[in-house]
Amino acid sequence: MAALQGVKIGDHHTLKDWGLYLVVGGTTVGPAEPDESLLVKVPFSDRILDLSKSMDGKVHYTQRKITITLKCVKPKRLWPKVQSTLENALQGQWLKCVFDDDPAWYWEGFWTVTPQSRDRWENVFAITGICNPYKTNTTAAAGADWLWDSFSFEEDTIYDTPTEVKSL
């Protein structure tokens, strides 16, 4: 049986700080949304002008929606306090998000908290982020400080010249 996993959002870890663990299959990373503002309606025409690749030949994206479903392991009497603390820490904040199973990468986004269900046995929350379209490697900034604890010698790369690293 796999160990319970959480997510670090901002300075807080959902499992260690709040007793909230990831539901198996409860994380959804939506598709990157193409920048539709680059589709221009031509005045007095029935056509749309596609400027999405006009500047650099690349498609540009605006955002991505990430939904994280978490269950509470704390006693039922503490559930209202957990919800209040969770909302105070995350609601309406622009924060980094690092998943326990992918510690070398982070997402940045604007987070909201929604109670999903509460019955006598479990309390479930959904944390939703409207995020940048790409996750960012924690080691991508050449010459900048980075964390050894999250560095994987098998999968990560140390960059010695500045570069932009993106991953869909």
Domain with 19, as residue range(s), is 7-34+59-137
Quick check: is 72 in a domain? yes
Quick check: is 2 in a domain? no
| pLDDT for the residue numbered 1 | 45
Instruction: Give the CA distances from residue 131 to residues 15, 63, 107, 108, 122, in Å, rounded to whole numbers and listed in that order.
Output: 22, 5, 7, 5, 28
Q: Which amino acid is at 97?
A: C
Structure tokens at 130: 């409207």
Quick check: is 69 in a domain? yes
Which residues 6+ apart lie within 8 Å of 168 measured at CB?
32, 133, 134
Quick check: is 85 in a domain? yes
- What's this model's pTM, rounded to 2 decimal places? 0.76
Write the CATH number for 94. Answer: 2.40.30.200
pLDDT digits (tens), the chain, 168 positions: 468 899 999 999 999 999 899 998 889 999 999 888 888 888 898 888 888 888 888 888 899 999 999 998 888 888 889 899 999 999 999 999 999 998 889 999 999 999 887 777 788 999 999 999 999 887 765 555 555 566 677 777 666 655 555 555
Average pLDDT along the chain: 84
